[in-house]
Chain A
Amino acid sequence: MPEIILEAFNLDYSYPDGTKALRTINLKIEKGEKLTILGSNGAGKSTLFMQFNGLYRPNSGSIKYQGQAISYKNKPLIELRKKVGIVFQDPDSQLFSSSVYQDISFGPLNLGLSDQEVEARVDQALIDTETTDLEYKPTHLLSYGQKKRVSIAGVLAMEPEVIIFDEPTAGLDPRHAREFMQLLKNLSDEGKTIIISTHDVDLAYSWSDRLVIMSSGEIIAQGEPGELFLQPELIEQADLALPWLLEIYCGLVEKGWFPTSTPLPKTREELLLILPLASMNISPIPKDSK
């Protein structure tokens, strides 16, 4: 039985104006897993994230860290936030200092580490997010993608156990999005638990161990990405789309290029691997048409 690191139990939350943001959320997150939360705008993803490190307090139900319901007193809350880090969607609301270096050092200093240790962590975070050359630049002269990477560095430097990324690849160009995925892979290999929210179905399908689909404040499905994406009514209900890999796969199965028992390809490489060579099969183009 894998260890459950974070859990939402019967969580209900309304905004002060009465809008129901989360309805009876039950979610168990296993240590070291790669979890994606998919959902359209306003589905409650960000609100749920704020619950996970105690920024918002549920109306009923609870958040459990390693099986213990979290306390909202100052000290335990800080202990929780050392373990659960969030990278917010808008880097402008996360970066409070005009100096890249200062901003990244803020989190680790709050952990009570020595200056030398903080310096080492900041330098490492700068390397991991490829922001070393931005060190001397003020945050207001950075591009959106650069700010995003700096805000990621600010959380990485705290070395939390669980890292939550709210729409991490939104606003990143393809190269940096790819590098960010590599960074996620490295973090995952180190044993970190990673939760991301996204609209990018391709990313959600290829990267995650497990998928959670949210719609209007509720979890409408959770399970293996392959299983969930093959339920058209579910995808429809959550305003999502099919990943291109699955679309091609389904098309190829339908046209008889390979049997229905073929395992779902997780990546482009896997798809290309199972794709039979044209000469070994009956070509779909009639030969006598010349």
Chain B
Amino acid sequence: MINIDSYAYSNHLKKIHPGEKSLFAMITLAVCLTSPTVITPLIVLALMAGLIIFKAGIPGRVFLKLLLVPFSFLVLSVLTIAFSISTDPSGFWIAETINGLTIGIRYPDLNTAAQLFLRSLGAVSCLYFLALTTPMTEIITVLHKLRVPVIITELMLLIYRFIFVFMETAITIKRAQSSRLGYVSLKISYRSLSRLFSALLGKVFVKSQELYNAMAARCYTGEIKVLTKKYPVNLRNYLLIIGLELPLILINLLGRR
């Protein structure tokens, strides 16, 4: 997760307008999810992999690893769809009958499973594209412009910032504990970990008070107003998005018949 975050700030597509990237990722996601065939998800997967690896300059290894995260979960759920158990042995494509119970795969189920699998993987790759190329702060700004309630965007802003503050604090405490043999045995580890959590909880209150004071000192009145660095709007990118999405939508429509 932390890796994704640092790539978001250092990839080759970081200077592209976050709105354009979000639009592209979301349309492609919708097209991929509504696809009736496996062709669109495959194209989407290839397209996103190409963009992430060659355009954004993120190592292929990293992208593959990220795809493996939902992979095991996907395989498990797809298997349950593909396999069925029945007392009626007819209609199976591959099957084994034991004591009158038939366990096997029906052809239409296999089709559904494969489609679902690829569709999910394609959709995940769209989200990875957005997450790997667009910093969280920019995504929050886009959400704010889309009139997502202020309470949500402000919370996102603060939570995102404080994930890192607390992680740093937790790492420091953990390091201090380890250097004094705080994790030498299981029993001691439990005790150290519980102390780490209670110390962290205490810090949460202190930090939030300090943050409030610091914000009040800068005339905070209850609404967090910030400016974001402006990105140039690129007409070519919009044309590119249309040029890529139209054929995909066409493929979807043709597949429907």
Contacts and interface: CB of A to CB of B under 8 A. Distances in A.
Q: Is A bound to B?
A: yes
Interface in A39-94: 50, 53, 55, 74, 78, 81-82, 85-86, 88, 90, 92-94
A98 interface: yes
Contact of A81 (B158, B218, B224, B227): B218
Interface stretch (B66-74, B205-213, B246-254): B205-213
B210 A96 contact: no
Contact of B161 (A85, A97, A137): A97
Given A96-B158, A96-B224, A118-B227, A110 B218 contact: yes
Contact of A93 (B6, B211, B226): B211
B161 A88 contact: no
A155 interface: yes
B213 A50 contact: yes
Interface in B185-228: 207, 210-211, 213-221, 224-228
A110 B229 contact: no
B9 A136 contact: yes
A103 interface: yes
Contacts of B229: 99, 101, 135-136
A120 to B, nearest CB: 11
A88 B227 contact: no
Contacts, number: 111
User: Which of B160, B210, B227 counts the most chain A CB atoms within 10 A?
Assistant: B227
B227 A115 contact: yes
B8 to A, nearest CB: 8
Contacts of B220: 106, 110
A88 B137 contact: no
B157 interface: yes
Interface string B1-42: 000011001000010000000000000000000000000000
B238 interface: no
B135 interface: yes
A107 B219 contact: yes
B164 interface: yes
Interface in B80-102: none
Nearest to A109: B225
Interface stretch (A5-13, A138-146, A275-283): A138-146
Nearest to B213: A55
Nearest to A154: B218
A97 B226 contact: yes
The 10 closest A-B pairs by CB, nearest first: A140-B164, A93-B210, A105-B227, A110-B219, A102-B226, A107-B218, A99-B137, A94-B214, A109-B225, A101-B229
Interface of B: 5-6, 9, 14, 135-137, 157-158, 160-161, 164-165, 168, 207, 210-211, 213-221, 224-229
15 contacts: A82-B219, A85-B218, A88-B214, A93-B207, A96-B158, A96-B224, A98-B136, A99-B137, A99-B226, A105-B226, A106-B215, A110-B219, A138-B5, A140-B161, A140-B168
Given A106-B215, A107-B219, 14 more contacts: A81-B217, A88-B213, A93-B210, A96-B215, A96-B224, A102-B137, A102-B226, A102-B228, A106-B218, A106-B220, A119-B227, A135-B229, A138-B5, A154-B218
